Chains A and B, each alone.
Chain A
Amino acid sequence: EAGVTQFPSHSVIEKGQTVTLRCDPISGHDNLYWYRRVMGKEIKFLLHFVKESKQDESGMPNNRFLAERTGGTYSTLKVQPAELEDSGVYFCASSQARGTEAFFGQGTRLTVV
């Protein structure tokens, strides 16, 4: 069974540019989560999808971040325009049911210069 996959693994962009991160969850997992780890800090929750619906987006830092999950399969997280403080590792996770183990991808390391 394929795990959670994230693309790209690394991205370096200039301040003001747009970047789109993609996450393919484990097949059949309705719950999809995005998390972010900024250098030296904890891994922080960004948002949660149940199928294609946003269940909780309380962790999204501001309106420069837009997440979608069309069709309830893969998800994208777009940052537009990117700022220096957006640099960090963005993790995606999926789970079969809420409260059960969440399986994480390898993360996308975003560097904004």
Chain B
Amino acid sequence: AQKVTQAQTEISVVEKEDVTLDCVYETRDTTYYLFWYKQPPSGELVFLIRRNSFDEQNEISGRYSWNFQKSTSSFNFTITASQVVDSAVYFCALSEPYSGAGSYQLTFGKGTKLSVIP
């Protein structure tokens, strides 16, 4: 069965520091998708990135970057030069096309609460 582990429950950093959020996943499928979502204090889940299992290229979007390593089943998220607005709960999630009647349902980790201190 699929599983996502976010070992860091809470992280606090001082503004402008870099921070990496860890995500480790388990799956028996060779085809799958990985996601990161941000949940700010307002409550909604904001989509950040989707990566398919055949694309191991790292991705950079502004201050955000993602490191996907199939060898270690990890999909880590780094925020460079953190800002107070980055304070939120971040969720890593996994989706498999061949489980759950093909619904591509998301399996979430427990989330990491990031606090950026000014």
Contacts and interface: CB of A to CB of B under 8 A. Distances in A.
Interface of A: 3, 33, 35, 41-45, 48, 55-56, 58-59, 89, 91, 93, 98-107
Given A42-B108, A103-B47, A106-B43, 9 more contacts: A35-B108, A55-B101, A59-B105, A93-B45, A101-B47, A102-B47, A102-B106, A104-B45, A107-B43
Contacts of B110: 41-42
A107 B44 contact: yes
Q: In this complex, which of B45, B46, B47, B50 has the most chain A Cβ atoms within 10 angstroms of its Cβ? A: B45
Contact of B101 (A56, A100, A102, A106): A56
20 contacts: A3-B44, A35-B106, A42-B109, A43-B91, A43-B106, A44-B108, A45-B105, A45-B106, A55-B102, A55-B103, A56-B102, A56-B105, A91-B45, A98-B97, A99-B97, A101-B35, A101-B47, A104-B37, A104-B44, A107-B45
A100 B50 contact: yes
Interface of B: 4, 33, 35, 37, 42-47, 50, 91, 95, 97, 100-111
A105 B109 contact: no
Contacts of B50: 100-101
B103 to A, nearest CB: 4
Contacts of A45: 100, 103, 105-107
Given A101-B47, A101-B50, A104-B37, A48 B103 contact: yes
A43 B108 contact: yes
A99 B108 contact: no
A75 B97 CA distance: 23
A109 B43 CA distance: 10
B103 A98 contact: yes
Contacts of A33: 103, 105-106
A107 to B, nearest CB: 5
Contacts of A42: 4, 107-111
A3 B43 CA distance: 14
